[in-house]
Amino acid sequence: TVATSTDRRSSMSNEQELLCIFGTGDLGRSLGQRLLQTGYRVVYGSRRPHSCGPLPERAQVMSHAAAAQSANLVFICIHRENYDFLETLAPELKGKVLVDVSNNVEKNLYPEANAEYLQRLIPGAHVVKAFNTLSAWALQNGPSDANRQVYLCGNNAEAKQAVSVVATKLGFTVLDRGSVSAAKELEDFPLQLFPEWRLPLRLAVGLTAFFFFYLLIRDIISVYIKEKKDISFRIMVSLANKVFPIVSLIMLSLCYLPGVIAAFLQLYRGTKYKRFPDWLDRWMLCRKQLGLLALGFAFLHVLYTLIIPIRYYVRFRLSAITVRENRTPEFDTTMAWRTDSYYSVGILGFGLYLLLGITSLPSVSNALSWREFSFIQSKLGHVTLFFCTFHTYLYGWDKFLRASSYKWYTPPGYMLCLVLPSVVLVLKLLLLLPCVDRSLTRIRQGWERTNPDDDSRKSLLT
Amino acid sequence: TVATSTDRRSSMSNEQELLCIFGTGDLGRSLGQRLLQTGYRVVYGSRRPHSCGPLPERAQVMSHAAAAQSANLVFICIHRENYDFLETLAPELKGKVLVDVSNNVEKNLYPEANAEYLQRLIPGAHVVKAFNTLSAWALQNGPSDANRQVYLCGNNAEAKQAVSVVATKLGFTVLDRGSVSAAKELEDFPLQLFPEWRLPLRLAVGLTAFFFFYLLIRDIISVYIKEKKDISFRIMVSLANKVFPIVSLIMLSLCYLPGVIAAFLQLYRGTKYKRFPDWLDRWMLCRKQLGLLALGFAFLHVLYTLIIPIRYYVRFRLSAITVRENRTPEFDTTMAWRTDSYYSVGILGFGLYLLLGITSLPSVSNALSWREFSFIQSKLGHVTLFFCTFHTYLYGWDKFLRASSYKWYTPPGYMLCLVLPSVVLVLKLLLLLPCVDRSLTRIRQGWERTNPDDDSRKSLLT
Amino acid sequence: TVATSTDRRSSMSNEQELLCIFGTGDLGRSLGQRLLQTGYRVVYGSRRPHSCGPLPERAQVMSHAAAAQSANLVFICIHRENYDFLETLAPELKGKVLVDVSNNVEKNLYPEANAEYLQRLIPGAHVVKAFNTLSAWALQNGPSDANRQVYLCGNNAEAKQAVSVVATKLGFTVLDRGSVSAAKELEDFPLQLFPEWRLPLRLAVGLTAFFFFYLLIRDIISVYIKEKKDISFRIMVSLANKVFPIVSLIMLSLCYLPGVIAAFLQLYRGTKYKRFPDWLDRWMLCRKQLGLLALGFAFLHVLYTLIIPIRYYVRFRLSAITVRENRTPEFDTTMAWRTDSYYSVGILGFGLYLLLGITSLPSVSNALSWREFSFIQSKLGHVTLFFCTFHTYLYGWDKFLRASSYKWYTPPGYMLCLVLPSVVLVLKLLLLLPCVDRSLTRIRQGWERTNPDDDSRKSLLT
């Protein structure tokens, strides 16, 4: 068992703990500097103790065997390819805590995690994986924003406790991830670059590109061909302000569509225990990212709309109309109701949308109970979808009746983008009908259509 | 004592831990599936081992007694109403860890928490309440946003440690809430739906409804009656843009009023140790919710103001004025100063308001010390209230002097909404006077007017 | 060793734990009230047990010695100046847990932390520093936003565990900061008021003041002197809307300049192991605060820009132009392209800027890996700087060619503010050139120009 030397030494507050570091490269040096600053004594193990390059000033250097004998905790800061030479030190490392801080440059380079490999090589030692999610700069300078947490894993609880003590002394928060079989996950974490955002981002880029070219051809190129008028300056704001809301509304409905599909699937199968198809599972897992991207596009749409009155083009056109008319036209009350309503509904929809975004923040969603989170993301979420769709219908109003909206027999952009949200809202309304809702709730509480015996057991089981 | 089997088994990395689940219903099945995925072996205890419905594939099923004997940790996934049958298994469950994951459908259905009842029934076992704040979906699919934390409570530290190990292996973060007497709180948590927001929300809805009808009658119905002109389209934006800022300012002052009342109460009584009246305590506890709702209304007010220039009604009216006048009127510098100042002050007030909102986020407020948090929420908070009130006074300017503002002898909406914030600011200014401030600080540091002996003891006591 | 009385007593759920408090002042009374509410029994130690002022109702009072003997855990709520009298109680306090909750009124009043002093006075007891970051109100009323975490430190692990149990029962989350040598940091924490924001705030105020007076003289005072026209009303919005974006852009470039300087320093020295100069280190540590302040100013700039069309001055001027002209001028397509582009680029820049701000929130940055955080803050950060700079160049366009821009031979404000960001972007472009980038990456991975032997050792070391 690991000697509780950390505790004994700490309680004798005048004597500093001695820690050992194998490896005098980049990471080893940064770690050593930080440990010395915090008040530990550090001894390095090196093959060439007398000529191993610059090390932090107050650290000692010895051979590996000697260094390992003098301390109870050894940081292994060498490449995985060189772990095998550590086998020769197995006698000296017996009963010590080995802290594996290594990272690989790529995922799945090896079948086994580095920490599991090390534990297999030296079964007498207690391997703890820690500190690998930090960069060398963070180790050297202490915690900062993306680097306050240190994830640990290992088989022996006392070894993990000893490493925790060092980590908290360095100012980090420690999260225990379990046994050494969790090491693979810890080694993969620093290599990932937004894995769950890839699909939604590609989708957003694809939709943006599609609608950009669709509207470019319809609005600008067709005018150029038919009327020989160059209105290409309208790309920067007018066209952008059509593409962004269209993509936003489509992505928002893609965020709520899988839930509706899943509900119908459960109703059709009569049970909740059959697994969903893979594509539906993957879709359900990236709903949050779809929603947040849609919120980003909606935010850009709001800003582009609000700068309309300061655009040169708009002011020019308005004053040209005033000059030309030179008399007060009749005040169209329906137009006033329509435009005011559509702005008002749009603002309320965006406000609810922001609320959904705020409750997606990690700290806020952790403070909510499951019932509260579901109320906001599901109920208020569908209300948001409804407001935004209604906003678009009011914008369209009766444009679909006019022939001039259809250039070259293609529908306007806003009509294309209304298809998906309308489908989602209609299906959701169907799910809210009392008879359908009752069946679905029963299925979700565990009832299965094909097995009538379950009802009698319900009183015994949860 | 609980055998540290978790540790021994984990260190022999090829042998998987065996866990037992009582209950083959919804929750039991989801939990079993997740445990099997994570690498545990699972055995179910059931009354009818041979015909108990679909279970996860690789799980075994036995009688309750046999299942309990084979594992050290037993998840109790059965209804509370059936806990009594577990008493018959007390010999087999002696020394085991029983994990109570139950929830009730309503608060206060029973006088005692489920976990306390279970511990009373089987005193030889170690009951740990855990996992009950997660939905079955979260248990099955692993942690996600609102479900990353598992709250534990129980009397025996080693039993809680064993459950922690399982929870972290499943990917959750564990928070220990103390002994089994905390179980009631854990069982109530998933049932709540924004309890501390109820009162502020009702207040906001009430104020909104009141001012909506007040302004509807004053602005629209009165015009219809007097001038037979239908300006009802103004409801959607113009009226909304008066109701929202009024409600926002009133709620912001209701957020700071209890603090001022409490201070005067302490000055009057000459001590800080008498408890506040219940209504004041409840009011002080929902100040954060009042403030955040007020911020939401202020945000809507900002958006409604920014779309003013793209409204059809506004453009129509502006171009009608230009056409009608057809000459340049005199430039009114006072008007320019007034409107620019009132927008500028409004923007700065809203900016500060947003800062208050951001520091209310859980992660940000946890990173601040008490002194920093108080500086922002109290000092900057009163500055925000001042800016927003000044903004409203500048908006009003000299309207109160004109007879036309008073329709049917009622004051304009903005005058009604200025009463409360002005009262709060005046009282706060009184509290800042040096003599008053000195007394209050002394009282808050523990001095009491009625007991002159305390001064001599101050050097000994904190 | 500390008896595990907490565990034994808690498991006998009907018997409440007895805790002792030394000190019957403000903090002692609040703490006692809270402990009684939570279910503990409380006994106070006081010099004058029979006449010591109002205490919570159900608490007992005894002499210090008697109180200390009856409980295992003693809260020390007395001033540090009176710790010496506790020495006389050393025999009764042997083996007990002493919880030091004291705070000083100023930093560095004493060379030693209060907890270390106490431990030195009574070496037989186990001193744990805890609860000192909470205000008395928080202790009395339980956790709220800025007060949910309790930091602990102490030498003995079982003593800290006993205090943790009490803290979690009171509803707090406990973070262990290590041995008693961390007490100084815990005692300093409540006294700080935004230490890392001081320098950026002073810088922001300085820049704002400088540009305010610079533009006041150029735009308003010069017009008054030359044309005798009073346009001072323009201070509130027009002038503010020039000062804020200028300060924002300068501070954003100051946020990215140290990284560029550091890179060139490393290239020049040929190694990453020489420490940076102190001023550069301090600058690098407040980059986040510089960026967040710049975001605040950019947000105000956006709001000030969006209210332009509802300003009386702007409407007056626009309708005056329309009236005066009374004919449609020629439509300037270049002007349309330019203004639309510059709004569009500005909006996209602000959107990215908000994304940077959101990822600075503690909970979001903790959820990102180092690679993800660096991608957003560094790569997307430089893209943001580029967009905002391009936005300002488009705004300037060809103004620099006109003589009227230079009043009294001084350049317009926007030209002054373009210097720094252009320098940063050019230097960053230089760093992206393949040859330079390759050298820098090699240096950052540990290579050093002056020591050619290191290459051969690279296979052994990390």
pLDDT attached to residue C345: 94
Are C323 and C279 in the same domain?
yes
Are A261 and A298 in the same domain?
yes
Scanning the structure block, which residue is given the tokens 């015994």?
A460
Q: Is the dihedral of CA B426, B432, B436, B439 positive or negative?
A: positive
Round to whole Å and give the CA distance between A219 and A239.
8
In a domain, A48, yes or no: yes
Scanning the structure block, which residue is given the tokens 């593409």?
A243
How sure is the predictor about B7, in pLDDT bands with cuts at 50, 70 and 90? Answer: very low
Is there a contact between A343 and B190 if contact means CB atoms under 8 Å apart? Answer: no
In a domain, C458, yes or no: no
Give the CA distances from residue C349 to residues A12, A303, C25, C378, C400, in Å, rounded to whole numbers and listed in that order: 56, 12, 55, 15, 23
Are C143 and C245 in the same domain?
no
Mean pLDDT of B137-147: 60
Is residue C331 less than 8 Å (CB to CB) from chain A? yes
In a domain, A9, yes or no: no
In a domain, A5, yes or no: no
Nearest-by-CA chain C residue for B310: C309
How sure is the predictor about B422, in pLDDT bands with cuts at 50, 70 and 90? Answer: very high
Are B242 and B376 in the same domain?
yes
Q: Given B191, B209, B231, which residue is the final one in a domain?
A: B191
Q: Which residues numbered 255-294 in C keep a CB inside 8 Å of some CB on A? A: 273, 288
Q: Which of these, B306, C462, B300, lies nearest to A29 by C-alpha position?
A: C462
pLDDT in tens, A353-407: 999 999 999 888 877 877 888 899 999 999 999 999 999 999 988 887 887 778 7
Q: How large is the ipTM?
A: 0.80
Give the CA distances from residue C174 to residues A58, A169, C166, in Å, rounded to whole numbers and listed in that order: 34, 15, 10
Answer whether residue B327 shows pLDDT above 70. no
Structure-block tokens of residue C23: 């000190």
Chain centre distance of CA C328:
55
Are B200 and B141 in the same domain?
no
Among A41-50, B446-455, C268-277, C419-428, top mean pLDDT goes to C419-428
Is there a contact between B323 and A322 if contact means CB atoms under 8 Å apart? Answer: yes
Are B200 and B72 in the same domain?
no
pLDDT attached to residue B138: 65
Q: Which residues numbered 149-168 in A keep a CB inside 8 Å of some CB on C? A: 149, 165, 168
Per-position pLDDT tens, chain C of length 462:
333 333 433 333 334 788 999 887 777 888 888 888 777 889 998 877 776 667 777 888 888 888 888 888 999 988 888 888 888 888 888 889 999 988 877 777 788 888 888 888 888 889 999 888 776 666 666 665 555 678 888 888 889 888 988 887 777 778 777 778 788 888 887 777 888 899 999 999 999 999 999 999 988 888 888 888 888 888 888 899 999 999 999 999 999 999 999 999 999 988 776 778 889 988 988 899 999 999 999 999 999 999 988 888 888 887 777 767 666 667 888 888 888 899 999 999 999 999 999 999 988 887 787 788 889 999 999 999 999 999 999 998 888 788 777 877 888 888 899 999 999 999 999 999 999 999 888 887 767 776 544 444 443 443
Is there a contact between C362 and B364 if contact means CB atoms under 8 Å apart? Answer: yes
pLDDT in tens, A214-234: 999 988 888 888 888 888 888
Answer whether residue A33 shows pLDDT above 50. yes
In a domain, B13, yes or no: no
Residue B150 near residue B130 (C-beta atoms within 8 A): yes
Are A177 and A205 in the same domain?
no
pLDDT in tens, B335-375: 888 888 999 999 999 999 999 999 999 888 877 877 888 89
Round to whole Å and give the CA distance between A275 and A285.
14
Nearest CB partner across the interface for A236, out of C344, C355, C459: C344
Round to whole Å and give the CA distance between A6 and C2.
18
- Least confident window among A118-122, A454-458, B160-164, C404-408: A454-458
| Domain membership of residue A59 as a residue range | 18-191
Q: Order across the sheet with B41-45: list the strands.
A: B60-62, B41-45, B18-22, B73-76, B97-100, B126-129, B149-154, B173-176
Residue A27 near residue A101 (C-beta atoms within 8 A): yes
Are C320 and C417 in the same domain?
yes
Going through A117-271 in order, the beta strands assigned E by DSSP cover 126-129, 149-154, 173-176
Of all residues in chain A, what percent carry a pLDDT higher than 70? Answer: 88
CATH (domain of C45): 3.40.50.720
Round to whole Å and give the CA distance between C20 and A112.
53
Nearest-by-CA chain C residue for B444: C26
Angle at A354 between CA B373 and CA C242, to 5 degrees: 70
Q: C144: which DSSP letter?
A: -
How sure is the predictor about A319, in pLDDT bands with cuts at 50, 70 and 90? Answer: confident
Query: How far apart are the CA of A304 and the nearest CA of chain C, in angstroms?
Result: 7
pLDDT in tens, A322-331: 767 666 667 8
Of all residues in chain B, what percent carry a pLDDT higher than 70? Answer: 88
How sure is the predictor about A145, in pLDDT bands with cuts at 50, 70 and 90? Answer: low
Residue, of B261 and A33, whose pLDDT is higher? B261
Scanning the structure block, which residue is given the tokens 């308001």?
B353
Is residue A320 less than 8 Å (CB to CB) from chain B? no
How sure is the predictor about B197, in pLDDT bands with cuts at 50, 70 and 90? Answer: very high
Answer whether residue A137 shows pLDDT above 70. no
Are B200 and B160 in the same domain?
no
pLDDT attached to residue C138: 65
Q: How many domains does chain A have?
A: 2
Structure-block tokens of residue C134: 């909470």
Scanning the structure block, which residue is given the tokens 């979700």?
A444
Are C183 and C288 in the same domain?
no
Are C159 and C267 in the same domain?
no
User: Which residues are CB-neighbours of C48 under 8 A, at least 6 positions away?
Assistant: none
Round to whole Å and give the CA distance between C42 and C71.
9
pLDDT attached to residue C128: 92
Q: Given B191, B219, B243, which residue is the final one in a domain?
A: B191
Is there a contact between A24 and C181 if contact means CB atoms under 8 Å apart? Answer: no
Answer whether residue B114 shows pLDDT above 50. yes
Mean pLDDT of B217-225: 88
Mutate: best of C156, C450, C460, partner A, most A CBs <10 A: C460
Is residue C450 less than 8 Å (CB to CB) from chain A? no
pLDDT attached to residue A421: 95
In a domain, A395, yes or no: yes
Is residue B378 less than 8 Å (CB to CB) from chain C? no
pLDDT attached to residue A11: 37
Read off the pTM: 0.83
pLDDT in tens, A266-300: 899 887 767 788 899 889 888 999 999 999 999 99
Is residue B24 less than 8 Å (CB to CB) from chain A? yes
In a domain, A461, yes or no: no
Is there a contact between B306 and C306 if contact means CB atoms under 8 Å apart? Answer: yes
In a domain, A328, yes or no: yes
Nearest-by-CA chain A residue for B103: A462
Q: Given C172, C191, C210, which residue is the final one in a domain?
A: C191
pLDDT attached to residue B428: 95
Residue A385 near residue A424 (C-beta atoms within 8 A): yes
Are A326 and A185 in the same domain?
no
Please state, as a whole number, how many other Cβ atoms lie within 10 Å of the Cβ of residue C407. 16
